[in-house]
Amino acid sequence: MTDVAYSVRRSERARRARIVVDPRGVEVVIPRRMALRHVAPFVEEKRPWIERTLRRMREAELDGPSVTLRDGGRVPYLGTVLTLRVRVDRGRARAHVARRADELRVALGPGQPLAAAVTAWYKRRAREEVGSRLDAATARAGTSYSKLSIRSQRTRWASCSSDGAMSFNWRLLLAPPEILDYVVEHEVAHLEVLDHSRRFWSLLASRCPRYREHERWLRRYGPLLRLE
């Protein structure tokens, strides 16, 4: 038996078992038909990797982006830090969030969760921040995309489909701006080369010479880009 604490989630889409490690803990995602008796041996096999990942995550928490969701707390936004100013209005039916300089002002109705209101604001801003960068990057590359979606994937930052549909994770707005710029360039390169072949990395390097540095940043600090 393993001493690693974990939860198990069945997925209709999973073709094989995988392990997700983030600040909330360790989750094992398994196919619908996989027998539970196979989970513990699988986790035991992956225990060295899990422990290394948890250790790196604890180290990253000391110098990575920090979030404090409360009145007077702070949230990162593309390299800046916004101070939360939160008030509750008894007569308010819908939350309202607006940025004023380096403050993020949040008005909530009774019982409305702060995290949900702030997340909704980040999603709206992500469409603008990503959209403007995506338009500029495709113009430089001489390509085009078919549509843009903003999502909340747990383990994926962005994707580009074969028909040019782009999807980006709103949590990228919690990272420095150069990280978002890199992810945009990465997906725009996929408009020309869908795989991760040598040709793809050569094209990406010509447009984003520091892409390896940005990849390392995402691997180290990506799990911390959360509001929960």
Instruction: Tell me the pLDDT band of 62, cut-offs 50, 70 and 90.
Output: low
Tell me how far apart the 2 most distant CA atoms of the chain are, in Å. Answer: 59
Closest CA to 125 of 1, 227, 17, 13: 227
Domains of the chain, by residue range, sit at: 7-61, 74-224
Taking each continuous run of H as one helix and of E as one strand, the counts in the chain are 6, 10
Q: Tell me the average pLDDT across 35-50.
A: 92
Residues 6+ apart with CB under 8 A from 42: 17, 19, 28
The structure's pTM equals 0.78
If pLDDT is split at 50, 70 and 90, which confidence band does 158 have? very high
Superfamily of segment(s) 74-224: Metalloproteases ("zincins"), catalytic domain (3.30.2010.10)
pLDDT, averaged across the chain? 92
Q: Which long-range contacts (CB under 8 A, 24 or more apart) does 199-207 make?
A: 207/137, 207/140, 207/141
pLDDT band at 64 (very low <50, low <70, confident <90, very high): low
